[in-house]
Structures are given as C-alpha cells and as structure tokens.
Structure 1
Amino acid sequence: MLPLVSFPSLKTIEAQTTRCENEFILSGEVIVGDDLIVGDDLIVGDETEVVVRNDTDVEHEIQVINEPSCNESLSSKNGQNKNSSIGVKECLRVNLLPAEVSGVTYRNDTAALCFVQHIATVLHQELVEKMKNSTALGWMLDESTSRTNEKSCIIYARYIENYEPKTAYYGLLNLDGDGSAGNIIKALTSMWEKDGLHPINFCWLATDNAATFTGIHEGVIAKLKRHLSAEWLESTPCVTHSFTVVGSEASYLQRSIENQKPTRSESVVKLEATITDIYNYFGRSSNRQFRLKSWQAFMEMPELKMKKIFGIRWLSLGGCIKPIVDNVYPGSQALLTSLQQIVLDIDSSNIERENAKRLLTSILEDEFLFLLHMHHDLHEIVLSPITKIMQHGNRSYFSLMETIAEKRKILSYWASESSLIMGPALGDYIESTELGSFGGFKIKLGDRKTFRKDCREHVDRLIQQLDKRFKPSMVQESLSTGRSKSPVEKKM
C-alpha cells in the first residue's frame, strides 16, 4: 500500500508521465522482433533500427497484421498460442496485437510505479472534492503493524454525498516508528492542511478503545480537540471492540481503592479454568476424541467439538459453552459418559483414569454447572443477538441502540432481587437437580444463594459497562437513515 501523505502537483505528474513514456520507448528491456508494433505511437522496426510511423500508416498496418493469415504466421513463427488473443478480439471487437502474439516482452518498474501514483492521486483528489462539498465529516482511525514492522495508521473518511452517508479510504500515515498521540496528530493535521480540509465540518472520530486514542487528557481525541479548538468533536469508538470490552470488563470486580489492581471474579476464573481443562483433555488425544464421538453417534447427537477460549475475544466464551451444555444435558450426556467409561476402563493406565476422574469431578460440581447454564443463557439470549447485528454492515446505529436497550431490560430483570429465574437453561438445571441428580449422575448441591448472588453481580457489572460504552450519540443518530424518531428526539 502506497502512503498518501503527500501528492505531487499536476505539472510534476505530467513530467513524470513524459519521463515514463520516454523510458518505455528507449528502455533496453523492450525485445524487438520482426515487424514489431508497440504503443499508441506505433513504433515499428527490426533488430537494428526503430522508426515512428504516422497514424495513416498505422491504420493500414493494423488491418494487415490482424488478418487471420497474419495471426497464424506470427503464432507459428513465435511458437505462441493465439487462442487467448483471438478470444479477446471476439469479445471486445477490437483489433489487438498482444505481446504473446508479437513476441514482445516489456517490464518497467518505474513506469508502473508512476502509473499507480498517478491513478492514486486522481482518486484522492476526487475524494477530497467530495469531502469539501459534504456538510459533515467523520474520521475512522486504526493504528496497526499488521502490514509492516513499523507502526502506521490507516484512515477512512465518512462523508455525505447526495444526502447519503458514504465511507472511503483516505490515506495511510507512516508514523516512523513513533505511535504516540502527539506524532499521530502531527501527521494527521499535516495531511489535512495539504488537502485544504478545515475542521469546521469535522463532527466525530471513530477509533478503538486503546488509551492512545481515548485517553481522557493525553489521548489523540483529547489533544486534537485542544489543537483544533474544536470541542464539538465527538468520540465514537468501534462498537464491536467496545462490546468486547463490555464483557471482559464485567468479569472484573469493582475497585474499592482508586489505584487498586483489577481483580477478576473468582467464579468467572473457575468457569474458564474448567472449560479450558475440557478442551485440553480432548484436544490433545485422538483416542479421547474417538470415544466422545462414538458416544455422540450412539446417542444420535451431532459431533460437536470442544472449542478453545481466546483471551483476546471474550465473545468466544459463548462458542465454548454451547458444545459443553449440549453434551452434559440429561438425555445427551456424551461428555460425562465418555469420561465415566475411561474411569472404569481397566485397560487404561492409572494416570489416564485419574485424569478422567479429576475432570469428571470438576464438571459435576454444582457451582460449575450453575455458572455454565447462566452464561449459556447470557450469551444465547442477550449477547449473541447483539453480536449478529454488528456483523451486518448495513444495520444502522439506531437499530443497534434499539436492540441494546431491549436486551438491557432483560439484564435488569435478571439482576433484580425479586427475580428467581435468570434464564431458561439455568431454570431447567435448578429444577432438575433439586434431588441431587443430574441425568444419570449424582451431584452434591452447593450454596446456591451464593451462586445467585455472584450471577446477579456479574449481570449488574455488565449493565454498568453497557451504559458506560454505549451512550446515546446525537451525531450518530443525526447521520442514521431509515428511522422515525430516535429516543433523544422523543425526549425533546
């Protein structure tokens, strides 16, 4: 990707284009055969000389050369297949003399670079004109090192054209290894000045939740407001990244002291540890996987693989929980049955049986099963529908906020003290295990009042994070289309 930090003037481009054309004509990489024709000026020659013909001569020679007999002669002489060129001629109805037919090869990296730069400049200038005519502008920034070891910042512009919001690639900032907020602002404002863009029409900046961008005092957005004297600029972080942060932050207990180190909830740590143990136990042995699949086939269940929890993707927890719930539910307890078979198998080693027994015991703990079913309801009923909306690029901001408000009501009901049931899966589990049995297995009931309290606190933290990171935005609601009235407008 070529950095678009600076763009040459039209005079410079014309000079570069002329130089490229001269290099094309005089380049030693042009291999000339008998009766060679190249380019718009129609350069014709043999191995010793080059002659430039006029347009009248050119038209006559093109007709002669494109005769079928001439094509056949050239093809046999140069040992080339003419089927592809004939197909192009028939489809486009244009007389062509491809390089593979004429025996010409041409490669000039400088000319190719000039061509790409020229096209990029024209496209960028067209975009700048559209942005200048737009009544509102938004910017989307993302710092990355995915394409190179050096830090860079990719920029997309959001503008209005014919009363419709549109998004386009604006440029790539080369940060020269310095990804600080000050250096990003310096490179960004320099780019805007060269394009003649003024902050009077800037209304928002979208970034991820990295401190470099969202820092209250030293972040890019905070410094940019001071630098441009534009206090109206609104920060709109990436909704997908914000939603992931909502879930991950909800697993941390509230700090009692301001500078206290964040501490994760013990119940969440235990839940994730057991899920990881299940994945590791089956993921590292094909024999164990075969036993599990055999029981799934015997019980006429789909073959569901155990999935690994990814630390950077909190929403992956939902994909890890569902296969476990489906494999421990009464009537389809393939996971528990396969572990029990290994425990009772006298042909298995003592270590193998001990590992299976330890895992089976941890799964049959009342606390783990209680939390497992609660988080299953949480992801299936509340979080998964919101995630699916974010995966559709055509969904509006207003539709997303409506869905979040709807799911928040469900969370508020679950978090209330008067609520006895927090979801259908958890409700079925509590009801079916009142006598201490879970399908074909015995379990020891734990302190379910404490379990409920932990679950309510987790849901309450989730609500707080949703309110913190998904506040109503007047700018986004004004740019949303296809709606009646927003919640903010209804209050006005």
Structure 2
Amino acid sequence: MPKKRGRGRGQKTISSFFQERNHETPAPAADLTCAQETPAPAANPTHAQETPAPAANPTHAQETPAPATNPTHAQETPAANPTHAQETPAANLMMTSDHDEETPSGAADITMTPEQETPSDAAVLTPGQETSAADPTAIPANSVSAEEQAPPQKRRKKKKKKEEKEEEKQEPKKQQPVKKFSKGWLDRFKWLAYDGTLMYCKWCREQRRDSNLATGTDNFRLSSLERHLPTDAHTASMAVRAKGQGKIVRGMQSAALKRAKAVEAALRTVYWTVTEEVANRKYESLLQLQRLQGVQAVKDLNAGRNATHTSPTAFNDFLRCLNNVLERKVTREVRTSPFVAVGIDESTDRSSEKHMVVVIRYVRVPTAELVTTFLKCAKVEDGKAATIYQKTLDILQEYNIPLRKVLGLGMDGAAVMSSDLNGVTGLLHRDNPFTVAVHCVCHRLHLAAAQGTNGIPQMKSASLLVDSIYNYIMRSPNRLAEFKTLADVLGEDYIKLKHVFEIRWLSMGEAIDGVLRNHRALAVYTEEKAADGDPTAIGLHQQLTSYLPMALLHLLGDVLDVTNHLSRLFQYRDITFSSLSKELTECFNSLEAMRQVDGPKLERFRVGVEQSGNFRDTPIEMRVGRGGRQPLEALQDIRAAFLERLLENLHARFPQVELLEAMKIFDPASYPAAGDNLALVYWGRDEFNTLMDHYAQRKVTRDGNVCEKYIDQYACEGQFGAFKQAVAARFKGEERVDENGVAQFHYYRPNELFKKMFGGANADYQQIFSEVFKLMCCCLVVMVSNAEAERVFSCQNRIKTKTRTLLSIDQLDRLIRLSYARIPMADFDFAAAREDYLLAPRRL
C-alpha cells in the first residue's frame, strides 16, 4: 500500500468534506436524472472530458469499475475521484442549482502520493485558499488564474487544444494489451489463429461454437488457451474435424492416384508411339481408340474438361519427360565410369541436313558391365575436321565428361576422321595423347573385299552380273510375278534377290547367295525370255550357263562367307580387341587355304559339273574365253590373283598393332594350360610391359602439354601375379550346353571375365585389384567397330521419313534415344517420368 503524503495543518479530510456537503447541500442537486438532463459543469473547466469514469481506488484502476466516493450517493452519482478529475465527466464536487450561469468551483483538497499523481489543473490548495463550507460558491481571491481571466473564446480554444493533447497521450495507453501474443503458440496449438488484434480458435469458429475463443479475445495468456482445450465446444469441434479430415485425406489420395494413373497411361501411349517409330500425329487417334475401348485411365485425362492432353504440345511434354529419364540414367552411369570411349560418324538425312552422331562406351561400375549406347545426335554446318571435333567437345561438356576420361575413339576410314595430322584423330591427340583411335573393323573388311577385285576384269564382270540380274527381275513387277510363278512350278523356294550397296558391309555376300540359290529358276526364266528375242535375257542366260562366270560367283561366295562372318562378329555391341587377334588369324588362315583348296561352294559347283555337266539341273557349258584360254586354267589364275590381292589388302588394313595385341592378357582362352603354374608365372609379361609403356608413363602433347599417367606401374605389377592366379583357378570359364545338348567347356570372353570377377558378389575385387581393374577398364572401353553409330543412322532414317522432314534436331534426338534404347515397357521407369511431368502445374 503506497504511503500517503501528510496533510497540512489547515487541510480537511475527504470524509469530513463530503459530510459537510451532505448536510448543507440539497440532495436534488446530485440527482442522476438531473445529470442526464442538464449537463453539470465540470469541477475543472479544462478537464470536462466525456470519458468513462475510472476506478476510485488507484490500486485497482485497471481491473474493476470504481465505486462512488460518497457511500450515500453510490447509486445516484458517478464516481468523483479527484485524483482523476481530468477523466471524469461532470463529476463536480460542488453542484449548483438549475440556473444556466456557470459558477467555478474550488478544487478539492486532496493529498496524493507520487504514484497517484496525474497531470491536472486542480492544484493542491493551501490553507489560505480553502473554500468555506457555508458558501460553496465563493471563490478565493488568489485562485483565479490568467487563463480564467482571458476572454471566453480564447479559453474555449485553449481548452479544446488541451483536451486533444490529453486524448493523444492517454489513448495509446488504453490500446496496449496486457500481454503480447506469442507466435510460438501457433506451432503448439494447431487450432489457434491470430489476426493481429485478437486470437481465436479457428476450428470452433468454423463450426460456430459457443466459446470465448470462437469470437476472439485479446487476453493473451497461455492459461486461456490451456483452459480452452478441455471445453465441450472445442472437444466437439475436434471430433467433427477428425471425421471430416479422414474423408478429405482419402479423397485427396484417391484424386492423386487417379491423376497418376492417367498420366502414366498417356506416357505409355507416347512411349509405344515412339518406340514403334509411329508419327506423333497418330497420338490423338490412338488415345481416342483407347477411350472407345473403355480404358478408364485414358478417360481420366479429360478431368480438366478443357484440358484433353491430346495436342502436339502435350505429346512433346510427355516425350520430354520420357527422354529425361534415359538421359539422367546415362549421365549418372557415365559419371561413375573410370574411363569412356566415343564413336563418331556423320551423315546427311532426308532433308539434306548434315548430322553428327556420338555413341559412348562406358563401364557400369556396380555390376562391372560394359555398356555401349547412343549419346547425342547434333547438327553440324559442314563435314570439316575442326567442326566435327568442336561439336564433339561441346557434347562431352554438355554431359560433364572430361576429355581426359576419353581413352577410345571409334571412326570410319575417311581422312577427315582418321588423319593423325589435321583430322579428328590428330586434334584429339593434341589434347589427350592416351586416346586409342581405331578405324572400324567392319569398314576395313568391307573395303578390303570390295577393293580386292580391282585390276581383275573377270571378277568385276562377276560382280556386275549380280546387279544385272537384280535390275532385270526386281525392277519390273511383271517379270517378278512371272519369275515367282515359274519358281513355284519348278518346286524351287523363291529367295528374294538383293541389291548390292556400296555402303552396306554384307550386301554383296547376300546378293551373291540369292543368285546361287535361285540359279535354276533364273536359268529357265532367262531362257524363255531369250527365246522371245529379249537381248538382256540372252546375255544373262549365256553367263548363267557358262562355267567361268558361275565358278567365279561361287569363289566370291566362299570368300565373302569368311569376311562377312568376321564382320558380323565385330558388329556385336560389346566386342573387345582381345577377340580381334584370334578371329583375324582364323580369317587369314581360311583365305590362305583357298589358294590351294576350293571353298565349300566352289567345290560343290565344280564336282557337280565334272560329274554330270549340270548344276542344279541346269547344263553348264565350258566356253572358251578370249585368247583361247580354257575355263579351268583361267579359274586357277584368277583365283590366285584375287586371293593374293585380297590378303595384301587385309594385312595392310589390319597391321599388327602391338598395343592391341597386348590386351590378350585379359582373355582367359590365351592362358596356359591348367596346372602349369610355372608357365603362368612368366606368361603375359611382355604384353603387360607394353600396356605399362602406354598407360603408366607421362606423355607430352604436340603443343607441349604434359598429361599425367593413368596407372601406377609398381602397384599394378604387384597385383598382376595374384590376378592371373585367380583367373586360372576360378574365372577361366564354365561348362555350357551347346545346341545339340552336348556340354562343353566355354572360356569366358574378356567382358564376361570382367563381369564375373569384378561385379555382383565379387565387387570387393575392385578394391583388392584396384590398378588391374583400372587397366582392364582402359582396354575394354576401346571401340573395335563403329557399328553403333551406323545403327543410329539407320534409326534416324526410319524416323525421319519423307513425310516427317520438318522434325527439329532436338525432337529427332529425343525420338532416336527412346527408339534406339527399346527398353521393354514393363521395365521402363514410368513413375520417374510421371513425377517429372507433375512437377509443373497441370490442369489434370
């Protein structure tokens, strides 16, 4: 309780003052009804403000309404606490009569503590200023201030300004809450909301519950929130909300599932369209067919009413998401591969645009698999080496593949690619001298066989005979129909005749095989046409029934069987150079033997003619050639010259590359016999040192740049011995059953050995033989052939038909990537594509 200031000697107490008033002032003057009808003059003219009366007790001024100061007038007049005279309306301590004349009243003599003092014009009166109780209207002579002596108009203006200042000072105090709202309560109480002024329960407000927090309160107390929790209104709101929340969640889950199924249905439709190389203009009709068939997921694509998702834009969006799935997978696997190799080729499409294709070979580290796949199809302005090389660098940078990681380059034999001076190979070696550039084996075989006939007119004539027969029969629908009918009458199986293409590696062998297998029907048909006087038929029939031309065709058939077998072998996707040496040796040996011994086709022809003079029931004549040479003698001379030229060409195109030969240390078939441990210790040392000279030594480029080595030679030497022992003991091969059901031992090929030894359950060997693993990766990524690039161009030609020549290069790249991969629909990650599609806001 604050201590009160002592009274002056002549001052009266408040109680005695009001007691005198109660006895001497008439009661009607303080009637409440009079206060409502006629405004009572204020005790202090400067504080006659119309504001609610504060409490009489200063200690409870902010909590409870103030009772009347005089108990006898508690029910008749408002509180008249002189301490707050500036806030009380018409609470004059000295009431006047009903006259209109204003009579200033003397201020009450009240002593206030410092805590109770408020700004006021009612000063504490001294004993000489006391007002007589007998005459309450009397005014002391010295109590009139300068303000009261001023004219009434000025007093009113000053009074008004003073009131406005007091309101400005006091109003903010009234608006300040007792406590501030804590934002942390919003996290603690999920049902709580705050609008900046009041806090309220949004659950109770939503359901219009009868609760204090439903309407809102500014009593910012934690206890108020805690008391609200167990109330019946809030408990009922929680129960209703929980029930409705479950329905909302289930509804949202159902809608999301429905939406996901609709998107996946559209993605599968687009995927099928692309992989089957169907034009995207068929996409809308395909969706319409599915709707008619009752596919609900496709019907749900129209959930947005105005969004049918059948436009070319929607198709391209779906295609982009499918393409992103494949690109991310390849990028992720390439990033983890220790080394890579790239295959480059360029061609012109149907719209006469020059395109460049890049394929890549890398190691899928977790499973130790060798992967060769399509990387990019790009447009180039010209076919110059600098343009092709710069575009290759741009593509590698796009996929974050550093050039130092590229250890293999596959290409064709064109000078712009293979030249080690200014070609793509030479430009690459300036940046990375460790890269092994290889001219495609299949290209070399095709060129060697084609150029082997140069300078031998008889062999050229035999090749032209095949083309002439094709043009005569296949380019005339009438002749083709007649020929098929004749073959059926003769009981011969019709074999389609093939055209010889300069750019197709196997076309010559297939064309010759078609002529030989249709020989009887061809001879009979050309004979009938020759009888009608057809000059072309006369010439063809003469060659089909002559010994030398037919013998040369059989010789070509035998040679091409050997070379085409090797070409098919090296067209396998993951063939490695460790297989090259053995297969080439077998090819050379077979061709060398044909110098002295007839091949199977030529032998069958020669024996048949010698025994019966016929081949396939067709008479063969021994016509003497120009110069009077006998057919058998001419055959021997031509065969010797042809095989000699062919073998020279092959040896020239397949030199004994020491580095590539050294890679056989990873071929289990070349290991010493089982049990010969001494031979195994010394085996492969020379080949190993050759590989170390290339990969374990620093190199300097032509521009003077130093390239660091890839392999630690000393660590690799220490691991190589244990690696050989492991291969010989456990990873040399396995028993396999052949087509006839006979079990035979099969040696692992290098890529099979790589997968068996370093993948799956044996992945720990990647750390045990870390340097050998890196060396094996260096050797296996080298590309033997560029067949993958040729396959990509074949895919491009199937997609970009005459009716689709307006396809952009970016769109063509996406279509090729999906069509080339041909991942089974059951294995494709449509969920990833769906999530990619739904990342953007869609009307679905």
TM-score range for the pair, normalised by the shorter chain length:
0.5 to 0.7
Contact 2:340-2:362 at 8 Å conserved across structures = yes
Q: Could you tell me how far apart the structure 1 residues matched to 2:557 and 2:327 are?
A: 48
Within a 5 Å distance, the mapping from 1:426-445 to structure 2 comes to 426-433=602-609, 437-438=613-614, 439-445=618-624
Q: Could you tell me how far apart the structure 2 residues matched to 1:171 and 1:314 are?
A: 24
The equivalent of 2:821 in structure 1 is none
The equivalent of 1:212 in structure 2 is 416
Larger mean CA deviation between 474-483 and 194-203 belongs to 474-483
Q: Could you tell me how far apart the structure 1 residues matched to 2:664 and 2:315 are?
A: 40
Q: Could you tell me how far apart the structure 1 residues matched to 2:528 and 2:584 are?
A: 45
SS of aligned partner of 2:670: coil
The one-letter amino acid paired with 1:138 is: A
- 1:449 pairs with one of 621, 633, 641: 633
The equivalent of 1:156 in structure 2 is 359
- 2:588 pairs with one of 404, 408, 428: 408
TM-score (norm 1): 0.65
2:453 equivalent to 1:251: yes
Larger mean CA deviation between 217-226 and 128-137 belongs to 128-137
Identity %: 21
Give a deviation string over 1:52-74, Cα, whole Å, max 9, x none: xxx999636548989x9xxxxxx
Q: Could you tell me how far apart the structure 2 residues matched to 1:206 and 1:199 are?
A: 15
SS of aligned partner of 1:98: helix
- Going from structure 1 to structure 2, the CA distance change for 1:110 and 1:81 (only over 3 Å counts) comes to closer
Q: Could you tell me how far apart the structure 1 residues matched to 2:477 and 2:314 are?
A: 56
The equivalent of 1:323 in structure 2 is 514
Q: CA deviation at 1:374?
A: 0.9
Q: Could you tell me how far apart the structure 2 residues matched to 1:339 and 1:189 are?
A: 57
2:371 equivalent to 1:166: yes
- Going from structure 1 to structure 2, the CA distance change for 1:98 and 1:58 (only over 3 Å counts) comes to farther
Give a deviation string over 1:137-179, Cα, whole Å, max 9, x none: 211112233275432322222222323322344334442x132
2:342 equivalent to 1:139: yes
2:661 equivalent to 1:459: no
Q: CA deviation at 1:220?
A: 0.4
Give a deviation string over 1:12-45, Cα, whole Å, max 9, x none: xxxxxxxxxxxxxxxxxxxxxxxxxxxxxxxxxx
The one-letter amino acid paired with 2:507 is: S
Contact 1:398-1:483 at 8 Å conserved across structures = no
Within a 5 Å distance, the mapping from 1:66-105 to structure 2 comes to 84=294, 86=296, 98-105=300-307
Contact 1:396-1:481 at 8 Å conserved across structures = no
2:568 equivalent to 1:378: no
Q: CA deviation at 1:195?
A: 5.6
Q: Could you tell me how far apart the structure 2 residues matched to 1:56 and 1:65 are?
A: 14
SS of aligned partner of 1:338: helix
Within a 5 Å distance, the mapping from 1:98-247 to structure 2 comes to 98-105=300-307, 127-128=330-331, 130-146=333-349, 149-162=352-365, 163-175=368-380, 177-193=381-397, 197-226=401-430, 228=431, 230-247=432-449
The equivalent of 1:365 in structure 2 is 546
The equivalent of 2:670 in structure 1 is 485
Q: CA deviation at 1:236?
A: 1.9
The one-letter amino acid paired with 1:339 is: T
Q: CA deviation at 1:126?
A: 6.2
Larger Rg: 2
Give a deviation string over 1:339-392, Cα, whole Å, max 9, x none: 334444xxx4xx43x443332223333331221121122233x13422442454
Q: Could you tell me how far apart the structure 1 residues matched to 2:331 and 2:405 are?
A: 13
The number of aligned residues is 389
Q: Could you tell me how far apart the structure 2 residues matched to 1:276 and 1:82 are?
A: 51
- Going from structure 1 to structure 2, the CA distance change for 1:197 and 1:342 (only over 3 Å counts) comes to closer
The one-letter amino acid paired with 1:370 is: A
Contact 1:173-1:188 at 8 Å conserved across structures = no
Contact 2:578-2:664 at 8 Å conserved across structures = no
Q: Could you tell me how far apart the structure 1 residues matched to 2:656 and 2:557 are?
A: 28
RMSD of Structure 2 on Structure 1 (CA)? 4.2
Q: Could you tell me how far apart the structure 2 residues matched to 1:359 and 1:393 are?
A: 41
- 1:276 pairs with one of 462, 467, 473: 467
Q: CA deviation at 1:314?
A: 5.2
The one-letter amino acid paired with 1:304 is: I
The one-letter amino acid paired with 1:366 is: Y
The one-letter amino acid paired with 2:472 is: Y
Give a deviation string over 1:387-410, Cα, whole Å, max 9, x none: 442454355544454333212101
Contact 1:165-1:479 at 8 Å conserved across structures = no
- Going from structure 1 to structure 2, the CA distance change for 1:191 and 1:479 (only over 3 Å counts) comes to farther
Give a deviation string over 1:279-333, Cα, whole Å, max 9, x none: 23333455544554455344432123433322333532222222332344xxxx3
The one-letter amino acid paired with 2:409 is: L
The equivalent of 1:59 in structure 2 is 249
- Going from structure 1 to structure 2, the CA distance change for 1:466 and 1:131 (only over 3 Å counts) comes to same
Contact 1:436-1:443 at 8 Å conserved across structures = no
Contact 1:397-1:477 at 8 Å conserved across structures = no
Contact 1:398-1:486 at 8 Å conserved across structures = no
The one-letter amino acid paired with 1:105 is: A
SS of aligned partner of 2:356: strand
- Going from structure 1 to structure 2, the CA distance change for 1:204 and 1:359 (only over 3 Å counts) comes to same
- Going from structure 1 to structure 2, the CA distance change for 1:280 and 1:218 (only over 3 Å counts) comes to same
The one-letter amino acid paired with 1:152 is: H
The equivalent of 1:35 in structure 2 is none
Q: CA deviation at 1:192?
A: 4.0
- Going from structure 1 to structure 2, the CA distance change for 1:310 and 1:60 (only over 3 Å counts) comes to closer
The one-letter amino acid paired with 2:650 is: L
Q: Could you tell me how far apart the structure 2 residues matched to 1:183 and 1:119 are?
A: 31
Q: CA deviation at 1:478?
A: 4.6
- Going from structure 1 to structure 2, the CA distance change for 1:398 and 1:65 (only over 3 Å counts) comes to closer
- 1:337 pairs with one of 504, 521, 524: 524
SS of aligned partner of 1:236: strand
- Going from structure 1 to structure 2, the CA distance change for 1:168 and 1:367 (only over 3 Å counts) comes to closer
Contact 1:154-1:171 at 8 Å conserved across structures = yes
SS of aligned partner of 1:267: helix
- Going from structure 1 to structure 2, the CA distance change for 1:369 and 1:484 (only over 3 Å counts) comes to closer
TM-score (norm 2): 0.40
Contact 1:203-1:233 at 8 Å conserved across structures = yes
Contact 1:134-1:161 at 8 Å conserved across structures = yes
SS of aligned partner of 1:443: coil
Q: CA deviation at 1:411?
A: 0.5
SS of aligned partner of 1:311: coil
The one-letter amino acid paired with 1:452 is: Q
Q: Could you tell me how far apart the structure 2 residues matched to 1:297 and 1:119 are?
A: 49
Larger mean CA deviation between 237-246 and 467-476 belongs to 467-476
Tell me: higher relative CO, structure 1 or 2? Use CA pairs within 8 A at least 6 residues apart: 2
Give a deviation string over 1:214-245, Cα, whole Å, max 9, x none: 1242210112212x1x3222112333333222
The one-letter amino acid paired with 2:573 is: G
